[in-house]
Amino acid sequence: MEFNHISVLADEVIENLNIKPDGIYVDLTLGKGGHSKRILEKLSENGRLIALDQDQDALNAAKKNLSDYPNVTFIKSNFENIDKVLDQLEISKIDGALMDIGVSSYQIDNAQRGFSYMHDGPLDMRMDANNELTAEKIVNGYSLDELQEIFSKYGEERFSKTIARNIVETRNKQRIDTTFKLRDLVNKSVKTKEVHPEKRVFQALRIEVNRELEVLEKTLQKVIDYLNKDARLCVISFHSLEDRIVKNTFKELEKDCICPPDLPVCVCNHKAKVKIITKKPITASKKELKENSRAKSAKLRVCKRI
């Protein structure tokens, strides 16, 4: 299956990165390289792009897509390792970075990856195929309480207890090992007229498998520490949990003092690191939505190092 993916909010990202031709930039979620290609088009031969992705299929597709650009360095890694990657490359500061933290169209549409409730396939959901934990292992191995917790916390699912209980009862008779088996079980567990009520459970499992929220806030902090003065970080998120983390992290990093309000003087010595450029998130234009319906939930937030 060919790795196809349309980069969302590409014009808005390039505008907000404020690219310097000879700068060093990092794409922390390379995908097929759509955003990276737009960055590279703005760079001179002295500029440099560091491109990370934990999905080997994505890296293979991006290397082919960006084969005309000699000034890009490809790294197979989760973005949580950005500090180690830059240290190994002997890069102390960068001039901008991008995080597009959604699932690619290829990952969704490839049934063998197990991300989608629209295609029957193995219950996998790993972005990095070398990881040991899969959605199947979670569904068939986590306790009732653990399942309920991740469905509630990561999927904001109000029927989390019922779904978890039915999963445990079902797996005692037969292993739940495909996306359709899980989809059908969830549909039988909830009493709603909602189309695709299983989407929240699938989201929760994907987040748990890939530790998505766990590493997001830490990575934001790490990236900002590597930014040069006036360098920008652009982050595209696709659901409320991600967006909330980005929004709140930016807000905390914009504060000078984080002492409790009842203290008469500041004792924390905390200094603001960023200025928020987007007071409200940037969303897709009507034109983009017509061309790519998956951009509907995308939100872009931008901050600048001070």
**Is 141 marked within a binding site?**
no
DSSP code of residue 293: G
pLDDT band at 259 (very low <50, low <70, confident <90, very high): confident
Positive or negative: CA dihedral 266, 270, 276, 279: negative
The pLDDT mean for the chain works out to 94
**Is 23 marked within a binding site?**
no
Is the pLDDT at 103 greater than 90, yes or no?
no
Domains of the chain: 10-106+213-305 (3.40.50.150), 115-210 (1.10.150.170)
Q: What is the pLDDT of residues 160-174, one digit of tens each?
A: 999 999 999 999 999
pLDDT band at 2 (very low <50, low <70, confident <90, very high): low
Q: What are phi and psi of 276, to 5 degrees?
A: -80, 125
What pLDDT, on a 0 to 100 scale, did the predictor assign at position 62? 96
> Which pairs with CB-CB distance under 8 Å and at least 24 residues apart come from 270-276?
272/306, 273/224, 273/225, 273/305, 273/306, 274/224, 274/233, 274/250, 274/303, 274/304, 274/305, 274/306, 275/303, 275/304, 275/306, 276/250, 276/251, 276/301, 276/302, 276/303
Rounded CA gap, 295 and 104, in Å? 11
Rounded CA gap, 291 and 253, in Å? 35
Q: What is the pLDDT of residues 167-204, one digit of tens each?
A: 999 999 999 999 999 999 999 999 878 889 999 999 99
Q: What is the pLDDT of residues 223-235, one digit of tens each?
A: 999 999 999 999 9
Question: Poorest-confidence range of 103-107, 123-127, 195-199?
Answer: 103-107
What pLDDT, on a 0 to 100 scale, did the predictor assign at position 6? 78
Q: What are phi and psi of 103, to 5 degrees?
A: -85, 140
**Is 33 marked within a binding site?**
yes
Q: What is the pLDDT of residues 263-274, one digit of tens each?
A: 888 887 788 999
SS3 120: coil
What pLDDT, on a 0 to 100 scale, did the predictor assign at position 3? 55
Which candidate, 108, 119, 109, 123, places its Cα nearest to that of 167?
A: 123
**Is 34 marked within a binding site?**
yes
**Is 35 marked within a binding site?**
yes
Show the tokens assigned to 259: 């002492």
**Is 54 marked within a binding site?**
no
Is the pLDDT at 5 greater than 70, yes or no?
no
What pLDDT, on a 0 to 100 scale, did the predictor assign at position 102? 79
Which candidate, 76, 60, 81, 82, places its Cα nearest to that of 3?
A: 60
**Is 155 marked within a binding site?**
no
What pTM was computed for the model? 0.91
What pLDDT, on a 0 to 100 scale, did the predictor assign at position 63? 97
